[in-house]
A and B are shown apart, each in its own frame.
Chain A
Amino acid sequence: MNGAPGAAGASPGRIRAGHRARIDAALWLAQRVSAFVLAACVLVHLATIFYAVHGGLTAAAIIARIRGSVAWPAFYVVFIVAAAVHAPIGLRAIAAEWAGFRGHRADLATAFVAIALLALGLRAVWGLAG
């Protein structure tokens, strides 16, 4: 380690390294923030599942619950956004550790998975909420 204090960013390599660290740190933070949101959502979800299967799972019951409501579709949108942020970042860590898939291309793949999950999820809410 040469470099006096403040020498960070003096070379292109250091700038890239700093950029990398910022992306990694931001993704970590995004995963933890989404985890807090998901913790609340999953509790509600588990309770809902428990309640729903109790009376027998039917399409009519699901649609009746969600359609005409504002709170339920809003809840599911928040849930889906949080899951779409959370899951791809976790998969990215696994790909890095167990498959050596890292760097810029891994970031792009992460973004792609996030957008795909978000699109699929929102489409489902759209279908259920009518």
Chain B
Amino acid sequence: MTAGTAQAGDPSRERQSETTPPVSSSIDVDVWRGDAVGQFVRYRVPRQSSQTVLDVVTWIQRNLDPTLAYRYACRVGMCGSCAMTVNGVARWTCRTHVDRVAARDRLELRPLANLPVVRDLVCDMREFFDKWAAARGRLAPTATRKDPVPRVAPGSRERRAADAAIECIGCGVCYASCDIVAWRPDYLGPAALNRAWTLVNDVRDGGNRERLAAIAGDAGCHACHSQANCTERCPKHLAPTASIAGLKRAVSRALLKGEL
């Protein structure tokens, strides 16, 4: 597909052409360099058609500064490793076109918020995944391989609830967008709680009593005030806010039954 047909076929690009200069010009990109201490360094990067923010970062690393650290793997929105803060908003850089986010031909790239910075655009995801474990985000099987495979009706309430939340790939965009994580660092956060909710609805799982005890409380689901930044920013269009609300209801039921 040539650049010409891509432009003609995409109405959003035609609207863009009124405000953005022709594709041959360049863009100023401020990139965070350092760890917790550091500064922004400005790079000038040539514009390309259909250029993603990840393309920009890669261009800088290959042509201007090979020491720039950043993460990516799949480049197509499957692995969830390239998330960064782009002009103040956490995003997958591989699925974000420069056209969509570059205000006045400027880009500002920072590592994800709410996580320690390793170097440049790379943050330490350890806390993020440790919280998945703390939220009991692991199946607690009730059967062995000798038992028959359980049948889960696709239309059942539990199955639909789990389906709605299951597609998370752990990119950390929601976690970086959550104000509550910023205010109380022990909060488990939207991704871990969303994962716990899929297991609460998994009829094969036998670990709910422990799971609900682990996710109840002010460092768990009750910390959420339904700001829904996570739901607004999730690149997979999941709704962790809804999952966390489900956990609050499940915990309340357990509390009233004396099972918490």
Contact = CB atoms under 8 A, between A and B. Distances in A.
Contact of B218 (A6, A93, A98): A93
B134 to A, nearest CB: 7
Contacts of A102: 218
Contact of A29 (B210, B225, B252): B252
B260 interface: yes
B206 A5 contact: yes
Interface string A85-109: 0000000010011100010000000
A26 interface: yes
Contacts of A18: 213, 260
B101 to A, nearest CB: 30
Centre residue among B180, B218, B222 by max chain A CB count within 10 A? B218
A22 B220 CA distance: 12
B255 A29 contact: yes
Nearest to A28: B222
28 contacts: A1-B133, A1-B138, A5-B140, A5-B206, A5-B209, A6-B210, A7-B210, A8-B210, A21-B217, A21-B260, A22-B255, A22-B260, A24-B216, A24-B217, A24-B220, A25-B222, A25-B251, A25-B252, A25-B255, A26-B255, A28-B222, A28-B252, A93-B218, A96-B184, A96-B218, A97-B180, A98-B183, A102-B218
A14 to B, nearest CB: 9
A123 interface: no
Interface in A69-127: 93, 96-98, 102
Contacts of A28: 222, 248, 252
A65 interface: no
Interface size class of B (residues with CB under 8 A): 20 to 34
B91 interface: no
A25 B251 CA distance: 7
A22 to B, nearest CB: 5
Nearest to B140: A5
B207 interface: yes
A3 B134 CA distance: 12
Interface of B: 133-134, 136, 138, 140, 180, 183-184, 206-207, 209-210, 213, 216-218, 220, 222, 225, 248, 251-252, 255-256, 260
Given A1-B134, A5-B207, A96-B184, A24 B222 contact: yes
Interface in A1-42: 1, 3, 5-8, 17-18, 20-29
Nearest to B183: A97
A24 B210 contact: no
B81 to A, nearest CB: 24
Nearest to A20: B217
A25 B248 CA distance: 8
B132 to A, nearest CB: 10
Contacts of A98: 183
A21 B136 CA distance: 15
Contacts of A23: 217
Given A25-B252, A29-B256, 5 more contacts: A1-B133, A23-B217, A24-B222, A25-B217, A93-B218
Contacts of B252: 25, 28-29
| In the complex, the 9 A-B pairs of residues with the closest C-beta atoms, listed nearest first | A24-B217, A21-B216, A21-B217, A97-B183, A28-B222, A24-B218, A25-B216, A25-B255, A29-B252
A8 B211 CA distance: 10
Contacts of B136: 1
